[in-house]
Amino acid sequence: MTLYLIILVAILGHLGFNGSRIAVSLYALELGASQFTIGILVALYAVFPMLLAIYAGRLIDRVGLWWPMFLGTIGMGLGLLLPPIFPGILVLYVASIALGLGHLFFMIPIEAAVGGIGGEGKRSANYAWLSMGISIANFFGPVIAGLSIDHIGHAQAFWVLALFSVPPLLVLLIKRGSLRNSATHAGNTKRGSVLEIWGIPDLRTIFITSAVIHSGQNLFQFYFPIYGHSLGISASAIGTILGVVAAAAFVIRSVIPYLLRWRSEAQILIYSVFVAAGAFLLLPFVTNPYALAAIAFLLGLGVGCANPLSMSLMYVLTPSGRVAESLGLLKTVYNVVHLVVPIVFGSVGAAFGFSAVFLSNSAMLVAGGVLMRKSRLSIAERRP
């Protein structure tokens, strides 16, 4: 399967998944759920991926890419179909679990496959293309979800999002034989403990730094619908502002090759953390939707660099034959953050208000940036 076809599948599958975040949050609010309940719902996206990501990566390294991707697509589709078929708050818990688990088995094969197309010289560009594709999905997913909620209702919006699971299934069925069976480095390496991967200093630095930036993006996706709802902003406007983050990420990812001519990967990651921290610092002092969109764009510039650069560096640093396992470990770190952040900050918001949520996250990002500056990422300290 070609790079661009894989990216198209990723866009369509991720579109419904990303739109589900705003649909689940706003539907829960419509049903009278508290901030803490919504935090639990969003955290459930991460519970099983956190527990199973490393196992999933090892499984994918062994069995290939097609079956996990196919079953993951089905899982996301079922997660989107449950709320309109069985309306109510309880089914949202089940839907969140199905969506999170389906997305895990959908994305790891895609990220592993992209790294193995075209050889080492194409790797950074491949991940930049994939990240731009995901940015497109991250933009249109919330926008479509918000418009659907305003025009056809909260539960019915899930039908629209579920439709985006159909084309990836058809592509996977038609192109089954063309998907790479393995995306690992050439050669076979003896399988060891995942702690061996975590014990590689440069890889550990990538995991931690990526998770810190990911936590900021995750918090904004989770908490901004609540904040916007409290300000009386419509679902369409909330979805559009969430989409602006993705639009900014698309812009910054499109110029990463040019940025790498002037700064190393590590330096760009550090700058990204501080830009994202600045965006969160501004959020509690702004209520105008247009100003919030401008801040969202700034946040998108900050978080947009992290994924393609960390994916490329991780692929290079991972031991032979263990790429998907390393991706699984990265997903585990992400999902620990995804599990903890909504619950912790949902509780903080309920107790101390919105300002405490945004300012504390800004402080966390600053701390991550300071720690990153003190580390040395040997492979990334040079300019290309």
* Whether 38 contacts 25, CB under 8 Å: yes
The pLDDT of residue 384 is above 50: no
* Whether 11 contacts 71, CB under 8 Å: no
The pLDDT of residue 302 is above 70: yes
Report pLDDT for 185.
43
Asked whether the whole model's pTM tops 0.85, one would answer: no
The pLDDT of residue 72 is above 90: yes
CB atoms within 10 A of CB 382: 9
Q: Select the more confidently predicted residue: 296 or 184.
A: 296
The pLDDT of residue 82 is above 90: yes
pLDDT tens-digit readout, 244-288: 988 898 888 888 778 877 877 777 878 888 898 999 899 888 889
Report pLDDT for 376.
60
For residue 294, CA distances in Å to 21, 213, 254, 283 come to 21, 19, 19, 10
Report pLDDT for 345.
65
* Whether 50 contacts 339, CB under 8 Å: yes
Report pLDDT for 15.
93
The pLDDT of residue 214 is above 70: yes
Report pLDDT for 284.
86
Report pLDDT for 8.
92
pLDDT above 90 coverage of the chain, percent? 24
Exposure of 189 in the CB half-sphere (CA atoms within 13 A): 17
Domain ranges for the chain, please list them: 3-185+192-380
Q: Which CATH class is domain 3-185+192-380?
A: mainly alpha
Distance CA 204, CA 179 (A): 30
Report pLDDT for 377.
55
The pLDDT of residue 295 is above 90: yes
